[in-house]
Amino acid sequence: MVKKIEAVVEGMTCAACSTRIAKSLNKQEGVLDASVNLAAEKAYIVYDPKKISPDTLIKTVERAGYSLILDKARAMTEEERFRKTRANFIIALIFAGPGALLMLFHMLGWLHLPYWDYIEIVLTLPVLFFSGRHVMKNALLSILSLSPGMDVLIAMGSLASLSTGIMRVFGVPVSNFALVGSMIIAFHLLGKYLEAAAKGKASRAIKALIEFGAKNARVLVDGVETEIPVDQLKIGDIAVIRPGDKIPSDGEVIEGYSAVDESMISGESVPVEKKTGDPVIGSTINGTGVMKIKITKIGRDTFLSQLIRLVEEAQAGKVPIQEFADKVTGVFVPVLVGIAAAVFLFWYFLPDLGDSIMKWGTGWIPWVDPSMNRLSRAVFAAVATLVIACPCALGLATPMAIMVGGGLGARHGILIRNGEAIEMMKDIDTALFDKTGTITEGKPDVAEIFHTPGFDEFTVVLASLEQYSEHPLAGAVREYAKAHALKLTEPEEFRAIPGKGVSGKIGGTMYYAGSPGLMRENGGDLSEFAGALDTANADGLSIICLGSPGMVYGFVTLADKMKPDSKTAIEALKAIGVTPIMVTGDNEKTAKRIAREAGIEHVYSGVLPGQKIDIVNRLKAEGRKVVMIGDGINDAPALKGADVGIAIGTGTDIAIEAGDITLVNGSLTGVERAVRLSRAIFVKIRQNLFWAFFYNLVAIPMAAMGLLHPVIAEAAMAFSSINVILNSLRLNGVKLE
């Protein structure tokens, strides 16, 4: 039996780290799939427990130089990681800050300290080997595993700088850049500190969901209300929900009535009415009524827990465009080391060309020092080249945008389950809608009532007969009677007539309720209602007639009512260039009526579930980008076959396994919002990748030419990553309403 685990990964610093861990895991026999998300700092592993154990997975990651923590309770919290990052930066600043000032004064001739070369080394060592110890460790391990990452560039640059101080102490004629090494590490840690702060904002969607959880519950124990922590709830417990309470866990109303604020899971602000028999979702907020609910789900099985898990998985997903960035970062570090080596050789063995560059830069670039000898120049340029081009920004460009965008979608009831769906959704031009339960409510409802003048008890008699009928249409009549508070009568001699209707005596009169054919069998004349019946039949409406021997008193029409916002949703899709098409197993008349009401011009009716996939494939063959929207069960083949499948979910019955995207509240307005969200996410991804590449394109040549100070190079590198994160956070400003 295959298992899937989600684990925290500690120690990652760049995209090369996540790639290395994923490769290490995927090489193991028994691991079917492993993906690692840098932004979320998590690994998602599908494995065969018969072939590999969790302990082996942990050791595999440890050999790569990182920690895999299966028990989330043992992992450092985001706040703890943030504090650790901040502490490392502060310690680095304590040594590198004064060192930088002393170096500046020394360079300007304002201060001449004895043993200056020794002072530089002493101030640098704690920064490199205490504050930056994890950088050095990760660099060594990544070299040994033949998959060098960003830490290698930082370590090589800072160690090369430190080596100049050591060489100078031993008499080698070279400028002392030891303090530059400490400042490289300090700026690197500053970047990580600011990244951690920004990532905290990016993950606020999940934080908000976790914080939504109720802490306590009032349960009935031997008829007495007792307050207990939510984690002590058991299935079957009866909880009392008072006005303003958070519902403690998923359950079913067994007594009372209220309206519940479900905006945390649907994004919709209008409270949802709840009565006996209705399901309720844990952590939603009760309105003004008092209810008793029976707990049906607890812990990991609750809707909120599933929602959090889905959001995390969605944020961890990769889009195809990210594969390109990952390939680039995979070769980036070795190429950069080669470029840095070439830069060193150029400056050392071609000093005349170096002099020309120095003369050109002298005067307008303050750190260009023509007095440096060729060894000093070679180290200066090579170190700047090493640290300027770390692929952090490239590695963060896509996952940060997905993390923020996925959180934004979750807050609006749009759960994106995989990265490909995010990329495909932006190009969708055709939306294929199932009818029943998607565009419509999915249950019959009384539409119109026609009866003979003077027979005012028509609906009471009809509902009294239908209250014991098992036919699906009878349920609509019962709901109508309940909504209108009709006082029903117990029928005598009640009898179900298979395929036709029911009969029974009320007030001494025998009545029949059912099809027009049943009326005719009992001598009823339908001519009085012929026009209305023809219209109802033409519109594909269902009909229940009421009569007695030799008489027909009238009939009701029943229809699967369209959802209130379906028409608005269809219009919104048209406005952004998406063509809506209905595909349904219902008859042509009914399908065309609903399509006309919804504003859909193209209809496929009488289609079996297995034939829907054929329509999807035909549309795709025409070059269309197709999204299929359905209930996630009967439409599963079509949902899977479409470019993107969207499952309509309602409450706790959410069909999360069928589609690439799930609309939690069942509202079709989410389809258009999902298209706009996808487009917004991809605007940010493209912006992030552009600036990451553009920055390297400009910065690497400047560093190679000796025109970029290593400290400024490291600062620029760090802030390029921060820019990517901040740009991604701007997605939170996208309006999906």
Name the residue with tokens 């309403």: 737
With contact defined as beta carbons under 8 Å apart, do 120 and 162 qualify? no
- 468 has a pLDDT exceeding 80: yes
- 654 has a pLDDT exceeding 50: no
Give kind and range of the element (H or E) at residue 42. Answer: strand 42-47
- 294 has a pLDDT exceeding 60: yes
HSE (side-chain half, CA atoms, 13 Å) at 720: 29
Among 238, 264, 296, give the residue marking a domain's end. 296
Query: What's residue 625's pLDDT?
Result: 93
- 30 found inside a domain: yes
Residues 54 and 98 reside in one and the same domain: no
- 735 has a pLDDT exceeding 50: yes
Residues 468 and 381 reside in one and the same domain: no
Residues 655 and 722 reside in one and the same domain: no
Query: What's residue 662's pLDDT?
Result: 82
Among 562, 593, 612, give the residue marking a domain's end. 562
d(CA 444, CA 452) in angstroms, rounded, equals 24
Could you tell me what percent of the chain has a pLDDT over 70? 86
445 pLDDT band (50/70/90 cuts)? confident
Position with higher pLDDT, 496 vs 392: 496
Residues 49 and 88 reside in one and the same domain: no
Query: What's residue 575's pLDDT?
Result: 93
d(CA 721, CA 154) in angstroms, rounded, equals 15
409 pLDDT band (50/70/90 cuts)? confident
Query: What's residue 97's pLDDT?
Result: 84
C-alpha 567 chain-centroid distance: 27
Residues 519 and 665 reside in one and the same domain: no
Q: What is the mean pLDDT of residues 703-712?
A: 78
CATH of the domain at 46: 3.30.70.100
d(CA 641, CA 660) in angstroms, rounded, equals 11
Q: What is the mean pLDDT of residues 465-484?
A: 85
The amino acid sitting at 363 is G
Angle ∠(399,401,403) on CA atoms, nearest 5: 65
Q: What is the pTM of this model?
A: 0.67
C-alpha 152 chain-centroid distance: 32
Query: What's residue 189's pLDDT?
Result: 83
Q: CB neighbours of 108 closer than 8 A, spacing ≥ 6?
A: none
Residues 71 and 169 reside in one and the same domain: no
d(CA 718, CA 85) in angstroms, rounded, equals 14
- 678 found inside a domain: no
d(CA 429, CA 474) in angstroms, rounded, equals 41
352 pLDDT band (50/70/90 cuts)? confident
C-alpha 218 chain-centroid distance: 33
- Least confident range from 73-82, 108-117, 248-257: namely 73-82
- 304 found inside a domain: no
The amino acid sitting at 489 is T
Q: Is the dihedral of CA 92, 95, 98, 99 positive or negative?
A: negative
Strands 644-648 vs 626-630: parallel, antiparallel or unpaired: parallel
- 658 has a pLDDT exceeding 60: no
Residues 189 and 335 reside in one and the same domain: yes
Q: Torsions phi, psi of 588, nearest 5?
A: -60, -40
User: Quick check: is 614 catalytic?
Assistant: no
Query: What's residue 295's pLDDT?
Result: 93
Query: What's residue 270's pLDDT?
Result: 59
Q: What is the mean pLDDT of residues 592-599?
A: 89
- 127 found inside a domain: yes
- 389 has a pLDDT exceeding 90: no
Name the residue with tokens 């830490």: 151
d(CA 34, CA 289) in angstroms, rounded, equals 48
Task: Spell out a b/e string for 693-716, using b for 16 or more CB atoms within 10 Å of the CB, else e.
Answer: eebbeebbebbbbbbbbbbbbbbb
Centre a 10 Å sphere on the Cβ of residue 489 and count the other Cβ atoms it contains: 17
- 680 found inside a domain: no
- Least confident range from 53-57, 194-198, 270-274, 460-464: namely 194-198
Residues 323 and 381 reside in one and the same domain: yes
- 653 has a pLDDT exceeding 50: no
- Least confident range from 98-107, 311-320, 473-482, 681-690: namely 311-320
Q: What is the mean pLDDT of residues 52-57?
A: 91
Position with higher pLDDT, 174 vs 637: 174
- 676 found inside a domain: no
Query: What is the tally of helices (H) and strands (E) in the chain?
Result: 25, 26
Report DSSP letters for 166-226, one per residue.
HHHHTT------HHHHHHHHHHHHHHHHHHHHHHHHHTHHHHHHHHHS--EEEEEETTEEE
Query: What's residue 606's pLDDT?
Result: 81
Query: What's residue 651's pLDDT?
Result: 35
- 346 found inside a domain: yes
d(CA 605, CA 512) in angstroms, rounded, equals 33
Residues 494 and 464 reside in one and the same domain: yes
Spatial CA neighbour of 418 closest among 198, 662, 196:
662
The amino acid sitting at 455 is F
Per the structure, the complete domain to which residue 501 belongs is given by: 442-562
- Least confident range from 298-302, 305-309, 720-724: namely 305-309
Q: What is the mean pLDDT of residues 485-498?
A: 88
Question: Residues 463, 464, 470, 476: what is their CA dihedral angle, to the nearest 10 degrees?
Answer: 20
- Report how far apart, in Å, the C-alpha atoms of 324 and of each of 327, 398, 644, 689 are: 5, 11, 22, 10
Query: What's residue 631's pLDDT?
Result: 72
Query: What's residue 655's pLDDT?
Result: 43
- 40 has a pLDDT exceeding 60: yes
**3 state SS of 548:** strand
Among 545, 562, 579, give the residue marking a domain's end. 562
CATH of the domain at 288: 2.70.150.10
Spatial CA neighbour of 409 closest among 396, 423, 422:
422
Residues 554 and 573 reside in one and the same domain: no
With contact defined as beta carbons under 8 Å apart, do 619 and 432 qualify? yes
Q: What is the mean pLDDT of residues 602-611?
A: 82
Residues 464 and 355 reside in one and the same domain: no
Query: What's residue 329's pLDDT?
Result: 63
Report DSSP letters for 606-664, one per residue.
S--HHHHHHHHHHHHHTT--EEEEE-SSTTHHHHHHSSEEEEE--GGG--TTT-SEEET
In this predicted model, what pLDDT tens digit does every residue of 70-107 receive, in sequence order? 876 666 666 777 788 889 889 998 998 888 787 777 66
- 555 found inside a domain: yes
Query: What's residue 688's pLDDT?
Result: 86
Q: Torsions phi, psi of 207, nearest 5?
A: -60, -45
Report DSSP letters for 362-420, one per residue.
TTTSTT--TTS-HHHHHHHHHHHHHHHT-THHHHHHHHHHHHHHHHHHHHTTEEE--HH
**Quick one: DSSP state of residue 498?**
T
The tokens for 290 are: 């008092």
Q: Is the dihedral of CA 357, 359, 362, 364 positive or negative?
A: negative
Q: What is the mean pLDDT of residues 681-710?
A: 82
Query: What's residue 86's pLDDT?
Result: 87
Residues 569 and 590 reside in one and the same domain: yes
Structural domains of the chain, count: 5
Strand intervals (E) in 268-325: 272-274, 279-280, 285-286, 291-295
- Report how far apart, in Å, the C-alpha atoms of 447 and of each of 440, 473, 481, 555, 698 are: 14, 12, 13, 11, 68
For the chain, give the mean pLDDT.
Answer: 82
In this predicted model, what pLDDT tens digit does every residue of 183-221 receive, in sequence order? 888 877 877 777 676 666 555 555 555 666 788 899 998
The 3-class secondary structure across 53-118, one letter per residue, is CHHHHHHHHHHCCCEEECCHHHCCCHHHHHHHHHHHHHHHHHHHHHHHHHHHHHHCCCCCCCCHHH
Query: What's residue 652's pLDDT?
Result: 34
- 336 has a pLDDT exceeding 70: yes
Centre a 10 Å sphere on the Cβ of residue 208 and count the other Cβ atoms it contains: 13
Active-site position among 237, 434, 635, 660: 434
